Structure 1
Amino acid sequence: MSIVLPGERVPAQHVNLKLGPGLLQSSNASSSRSIISTRAGTLNHSANGSKWWIESNSRRYVPAAQEAVVGVVVQKQGEGFRVDIGSAHSANLDGLAFEGATKRNKPNIKIGSLIYARVSLAHKDMEPELECFDAQTRKAEGFGELKGGFLIRCSLRMCRQLLDPNHFLLPLLGSLFPLEIAVGLNGRVWINSQDAKRIIAITQAIEAADPDAQGMDEHNITNLLEDLDRRWMLS
């Protein structure tokens, strides 16, 4: 990781290069494939170097194509919906952007419903667009309406850590509780478990591990969960 400033070029190169928040491909014809930063922060990339992004202390989510988000349906419009994803503008979700949806058979999504979706279009001069299926397979692949459960908000950095397979928290929680989880890179996490006590325990663990809050490590999170278990008999 390295620190970059706005306007600085970054060495992002890959056959299937995907740019995340804070990075933009230069439109200058003389410098094709030149990638520049649009914000100050730490430059990060995936293990294989195909995905690059900048992490900063930004509180507002800036949509980036192909990122998973958790949104709240705030309006029905025409053949689709408007969804609050925590960005500067609401996102558009077409009523046909669900697995198996047709003009005669559309999902019955109500205002206030939670949606787990993928950003299909993100441009600074346009409202973001969402889809609830994999663009290649047209299968849901876990996307769609989230029923029941509980929605929590955490830092954008915490969400990226939860999606890191090497991060300790989700494997630890999964070894203790049956749980369902949908992590949005927009600072929202949906969780569900057997009962309210376990949902509260999972919520407290995620909030305590958030690097923008207490930033507890694995040892302290384990102690926190053991203390909750003694008080609430979660096992």
Structure 2
Amino acid sequence: MEVEVGNIVLPGNIVKEAESLAKENKKVVLGNGLRSDENEKVVVSKSGILCKRKNIFYVDSYQKRYIPAKNDTVIGIVHSKTLDFFWVDINCSELASLPYLAFEGATKKNRPDINIGDLIYCKVMQSNPDLEPELVCVDSTGKKGNLGELKDGLMFSCTINLVRKILNEKCTLLHLLSKECPYEIAAGINGRIWINSKNINTTILLRNTILEAEYTPYHQMKNLVDRFASELTGIN
């Protein structure tokens, strides 16, 4: 059965739009809940809602445990170090490997200054059921972009659904919050969010507002941010 973006989908459904774009030699990225079969058809592997963001197709489904998928951007916690790798907790069933050379400008003699317990914003480079996930901290051009170590700030856990919601182009929350106060944010699709602002009270208020957004409809985000602005005035 063929399905379209916005439909509720089931395993085995075919995503014709993604398949057609690929045949036109346009770049298509398959995210969570989708795979390409031996006939080059894009097949749903998980129940949920079919979504699209730019050239990325994915299935939005409620899940507690993160399942790594190639090109996912995640927040990891450095668990241990070996001769050539950092081993990183990305909230899945096993540790992911992050090679020392997977950082911009890194060489065998010039290794990144990363320690156990540090937070890393990184991308899933490889995800295979038979191997541990592999991470990188550079984009396709070898540049770090917004990837790398997350210093200071506050990291908190949340549902994977909330991360997908605030990253959805229909959600105005992050844009509206930026009008009220300057802040930095890194949202990991593995159910972790890092934020940093001018002081800890503002950072905690930002965290609470973002968590509240999980059960707030898109059209009520303005009301949520108005309450944030009112509370912000009280603590500054």
TM normalised by structure 2 equals 0.89
**Contact 2:104/2:143 (8 A) holds in 1:** yes
Determine the C-alpha separation between the residues in 2 that align with 1:170 and 1:98: 28
1:134 aligns with 2:145: no
DSSP-derived class of the 1:96 partner: helix
Counterpart pick for 2:166 among 152, 162, 185: 162
Aligned to 2:3: none
For this pair of structures, how many residues does the alignment match? 224
**Contact 2:154/2:194 (8 A) holds in 1:** yes
Which structure has greater helix proportion?
Answer: 2
Gaps of at least 5 residues in structure 1 are none
**Contact 2:53/2:168 (8 A) holds in 1:** no
Runs of 4+ aligned structure 1 residues displaced above 6 Å come to none
DSSP-derived class of the 1:148 partner: coil
Determine the C-alpha separation between the residues in 2 that align with 1:146 and 1:139: 16
Equivalent residue runs for 1:61-72 within 5 Å? 61-72=66-77
1:224 Cα shift?
2.3
Aligned to 1:196: 200
Aligned to 1:173: 177
Aligned to 1:40: 47
Write the letter of the residue equivalent to 2:46.
R
Determine the C-alpha separation between the residues in 2 that align with 1:3 and 1:64: 20
**Contact 1:67/1:185 (8 A) holds in 2:** yes
Counterpart pick for 1:20 among 22, 31, 36: 31
Equivalent residue runs for 1:1-235 within 5 Å? 1-11=6-16, 12-13=18-19, 14=21, 15-27=26-38, 32-47=39-54, 50-135=55-140, 137-211=141-215, 217-233=220-236
1:127 Cα shift?
1.1
DSSP-derived class of the 1:129 partner: strand
TM normalised by structure 1 equals 0.89
1:175 Cα shift?
1.0
**Contact 1:59/1:155 (8 A) holds in 2:** yes
CA RMSD of aligned residues (A): 1.7
Write the letter of the residue equivalent to 2:30.
L
**Contact 1:150/1:190 (8 A) holds in 2:** yes
